[in-house]
Amino acid sequence: MPKLVWFNGTISPLETATVPAADHAHLYGDGLFEGIRFYNRKIYQFDQHLDRLYHGMAFMQFEKCMPKAELRETVLEVCRQADLDDGYIRLNVTRGTGLGLDPKNIKRIPNVMIMVNTLALYTPEQYEVGLNVITCSMRVMPPDSLDARLKCIGRYAANIMAKMQANRAGAGEGLLLNQQGYVAECTGDNLFLIQKGVIRTPHPSSGILQGITRDTVIELARKEGYAVTEEQLTAFDLYSADEAFLTGTAAEVIPMVSLDGHPIGCGTPGEHTRKIMALFREHTKHGVPF
């Protein structure tokens, strides 16, 4: 059984797994999630993902949460049973079960799901030739509505709509701006550009999810000797860039070669982007074994 789902202590094959109809995330999007990769039976950036999940639960005021150490060991055990060398873990925690928006009227024991599956966002060819990206009409949610650092299930409806807009245009990805018109992120990825050897990326205050892969790439690039800046960026910066690339747990590191039909640099993946991709792939050899 290579693809498994653990839900509140019960393991099932992915094809037959179920969740309660009155789960609060199913009804209202009232839940959090993490997507985590494992390579060669090692979970990549495992503890960073768990930390973000538990920070989110504290922010959302989830009650009676499973201790982090217990969830960590449970994920490892489910991966052992799934018996995949490489794959993708989807970890969901929801507030609880019950009909009605008001949490005081539901059973506030969090539902926990661990799915072990496989996922490929892009084709091998796209990693070689790069993505054509369009600017979407959707805007990222402002922080006075919901903090961008929160990986809340409900907020991703806007990302899905933006992804559909990119699909209709035949683009590989869609770029989201914030309410002030600054570059934020793509539908499921953080964005970087390179100009005269300097790597630039939107500042967290731009309304981005401060991705774990993003932070890893910044650290790897700086260790390699690159200057990396986090700042407010506009489309002008992308149009005038030499190179660009996207990062994410599911996306990994992938080149971006155009925006709205405007080539970035030569319109092909650049040498610095390829170096960052190689550094990242080497780094994925590290992780928590199971």
| pLDDT tens-place string over residues 37-87 | 999 999 999 999 999 999 999 999 999 999 999 999 999 999 999 989 999
Residue 112 in contact with residue 71, Cβ under 8 Å? yes
Looking up residue 45, the CATH number of its domain turns out to be 3.30.470.10
The pLDDT of residue 2 is 83
State whether 141 and 273 are in the same domain: yes
- Residue 268 belongs to some domain of the structure: yes
**Domain end position, chosen among 99, 117, 135:** 117
Q: Find residue 202's DSSP bridge partners.
A: 231
Taking the CA of residue 250 as centre, how many other CA atoms within 13 Å lie in the half-sphere pointing to its CB? 15
State whether 111 and 129 are in the same domain: no
Domain with 250 in it: 124-283
d(CA 205, CA 207): 5
Q: How far apart, in Å, are the Cα atoms of 148 and each of 59, 140, 144, 210, 272? A: 12, 8, 10, 8, 29
The pLDDT of residue 254 is 98
State whether 142 and 277 are in the same domain: yes
Which tens digit of pLDDT belongs to each residue from 79-125? 999 989 999 999 999 999 999 999 999 999 999 999 999 999 999 99
Which tens digit of pLDDT belongs to each residue from 152-162? 999 999 999 99
Number of domains in the chain: 2
State whether 59 and 130 are in the same domain: no
State whether 135 and 256 are in the same domain: yes
The pLDDT of residue 143 is 87
pTM for the whole structure: 0.94
**Domain end position, chosen among 117, 149, 176:** 117
Looking up residue 248, the CATH number of its domain turns out to be 3.20.10.10
**Domain end position, chosen among 84, 117, 150:** 117
State whether 267 and 156 are in the same domain: yes
- Residue 28 belongs to some domain of the structure: yes
State whether 90 and 222 are in the same domain: no
d(CA 59, CA 179): 24
State whether 271 and 172 are in the same domain: yes
d(CA 151, CA 211): 10
- Residue 256 belongs to some domain of the structure: yes
**Averaged pLDDT score across all residues of the chain:** 96
- Residue 22 belongs to some domain of the structure: yes
State whether 66 and 130 are in the same domain: no
State whether 149 and 103 are in the same domain: no
- Residue 290 belongs to some domain of the structure: no
- Residue 228 belongs to some domain of the structure: yes
Q: What is the mean pLDDT of residues 125-147?
A: 94
Checking DSSP bridges between strand 4-7 and strand 243-248, what pairing results, if any? Answer: unpaired
State whether 266 and 156 are in the same domain: yes
Q: How far apart, in Å, are the Cα atoms of 207 and each of 153, 216, 249, 259, 276? A: 17, 19, 18, 20, 24
- Residue 289 belongs to some domain of the structure: no
State whether 197 and 57 are in the same domain: no
d(CA 186, CA 152): 16
- Residue 288 belongs to some domain of the structure: no
**Residue 1: is its pLDDT beyond 80?**
no
